[in-house]
Amino acid sequence: MESTCQSVFELASHARQELSKRIIGQQEMIDYCIAAILVGGHVLLEGVPGVAKTLTVKSIGRMLQLEFQRIQGTSDMMPADILGTNVLNQSSGTFQLHRGPVFADLVLVDEINRMPPRTQAALLEAMEERQITIDGVRHVLNAYFTVFATQNPVEFEGTYPLPEAQLDRFLLKVIAAYPESVEDESRVLARFQDGIVLGANDPGEIAPLPAELLANARGEVRDVKVEPNLLVYMVRLARATREAPQVGLGASPRAAMNLMFVCKALAAMDGRDYVIPDDIKRAVLPVWRHRIVVRPEAQLEGLSADQLLGEMVRSVPVPK
């Protein structure tokens, strides 16, 4: 293990050990959520209800001692419900800001695609600039402000699909899958049989990490090295998405930049201060699956963004 990534490695190891007290399986989802916080990105979690999406984010917040807020997306939600609003103080005769849930460190927006477009757009400035504007006044959000949004992949009635501009604000789109094995799912049931109350907040106590560890870890991730030939490899992968006939909208230069950031985080989490090709292959799907648009005729043939990206990873030569 490289000593230059000591804080990141300690954070990742602690997360994998402690979160397993609450969450069985879902290691990939946990790793990607940690990586996003390390590089200051936002995460779109897609999965059916009941696969520990909310529990994962809440548990990470407790472990890192970050303030957690949850927003339930509904069709009648207004921007002020998220951002807050100025309220008249009767005693002083002045307006005071009543802060919305967006003024937290980790903000879970549950079922974001149930919110109307105007309310979805209210998150754009917050996610991109880490600030919001209310009545012409700018308010800076917390340094660790991170949005984790969930959406159900099978429900379409009463939903508003996220536009490309909104999707691009998410660093990662992570698929929260069912438990991989019978053994994992049986362990979930056994844990509740042992006396945990359904819906309880503490199915397993988590040891917190020192507050300064996350700040140190972020600095270490920035110092992770990426060799020039691997930068070229990332660009070639991005250009392959633009040249593929089945793709209507390929990965942009910003998408390639985001891929690099996530690769640096994954490398540091494994104790390395340098990126290897396997980091890139591991990060391509969650970083790009929501950024490329598959042409309708390709969709009719049953091709998905994940399948196309997987084929491009296999076809683009890996640098020696």
Q: What is the spatial distance between Cα 307 and Cα 298, in angstroms, rounded to a whole number?
A: 11
Is 89's pLDDT higher than 90?
Answer: no
Is 191's pLDDT higher than 70?
Answer: yes
Could you say which DSSP state residue 318 is in? P
Give the distance, in angstroms, between the CA of residue 130 and the centroid of all CA atoms in the same chain.
15
Highest-confidence segment of 18-22, 26-30, 118-122, 264-268: 264-268
- Pick the more confident residue, 52 or 200: 52
* Least confident span in 69-73, 95-99, 313-317: 95-99
- Mean residue pLDDT across the chain: 89
Beta-bridged to residue 249, according to DSSP, are 293
Residue 195 pLDDT: 61
Residue 1 pLDDT: 42
* Least confident span in 75-84, 153-162, 224-233: 153-162
What the block records as the tokens of 223 is: 């110092």
CA angle at 84 for the pair 39 and 114, rounded to the nearest 5°: 70
77-94 exposure pattern, b = at least 16 Cβ within 10 A, e = fewer: bebebbbbeeeeeeeeee
What the block records as the tokens of 251 is: 């990965």
Reported confidence tier of residue 228, pLDDT bands at 50, 70, 90: very high
The answer to whether the CB of 56 falls within 8 A of the CB of 19 is yes
Q: What is the spatial distance between Cα 128 and Cα 169, in angstroms, rounded to a whole number?
A: 7
Highest-confidence segment of 84-98, 153-167, 172-186, 271-285: 271-285
Residue 317 pLDDT: 95
Q: What is the spatial distance between Cα 166 and Cα 176, in angstroms, rounded to a whole number?
A: 20
Q: If DSSP codes are grouped into helix, strand and coil, which group holds residue 173?
A: strand
Give the chain's domains with CATH numbers. Answer: 3-221 (3.40.50.300), 224-320 (1.10.8.80)
Q: If DSSP codes are grouped into helix, strand and coil, which group holds residue 64?
A: helix
pLDDT digits (tens, 9 = 90+) for 37-55: 999 999 999 988 888 898 8
What the block records as the tokens of 320 is: 């020696």
Residue 227 pLDDT: 96
Mean pLDDT confidence for 268-283: 96
Residue 2 pLDDT: 42
Q: What is the spatial distance between Cα 19 and Cα 27, in angstroms, rounded to a whole number?
A: 9
Q: What is the spatial distance between Cα 277 and Cα 280, in angstroms, rounded to a whole number?
A: 5
